[in-house]
Amino acid sequence: MNGIFLYTISKDMHKRILIVGDAGRGKSTFAERLSKKTGIPCCSTDDFYWKVKFTEPRDQQESVEQIKKIYEKDEWIVDGSTRRLIQGGLEKADVIYHLTFPSILPQYYFLTTRYFKRKNEKITALFKMLRHVTYKKYKRGYGAHLPPLRDILKPYAYKVITLTSMREINKCIDSINSDLRK
């Protein structure tokens, strides 16, 4: 399901929501706005990946075991891009939002503005992230052997909604009934 779609989230059908996409696509912002509008709690795979945020990674098996506890709950919104951490949510999700934009320029913009909002992030981390997303987009360097996210999502195509711009993300949020949780 691509582009503008019937975005209305049904209280009975969409209690487990997975938001996936590359860094700088707006996953966390989308998850927070969706959580606020629906009352469904949200978290990021970053919360499980990092022992010390953006500094010290957690043991891989430990992070997978921790996020499994979220996926076992009745309601959740999880955003992220770490494959081993989204894997458990793919099947359990009622709906999967895939955020992917045709151009890399908005991604550079969002990553750069996010850098300036964070207090303790170093400029070297920004440059590493910009290099990472560039390599990933153009299949260079590490990770080039991994299948693209769109291929990982193919078995779940019946519940994937692809949003390709901030305009579509905003339209999706605006279309959600704010009285959903009543």
Give pLDDT tens digits for 121-174: 788 888 888 887 787 777 776 666 777 888 899 999 999 999 988 889 888 888
pLDDT classification of 101: cutoffs 50, 70, 90:
confident
So what's the pLDDT on residue 19? 96
Give the separation between CA 74 and CA 152, rounded to whole angstroms.
Answer: 24
Half-sphere exposure of 162 (CA within 13 A, CB side): 15
- Which domains, and CATH codes, for the chain? 16-175 (3.40.50.300)
- What's the pLDDT at 73? 95
For residue range 46-67, list pLDDT tens digits in order.
Answer: 888 877 766 778 888 998 999 9
Which of 139, 111, 107, 144 shows the shortest CA–CA distance to 125?
A: 111
Check: CB of residue 19 under 8 Å from CB of residue 31: yes
The predicted-structure confidence for 9-50, as pLDDT tens digits, reads as follows: 554 568 999 999 987 788 988 999 999 988 999 999 888 887
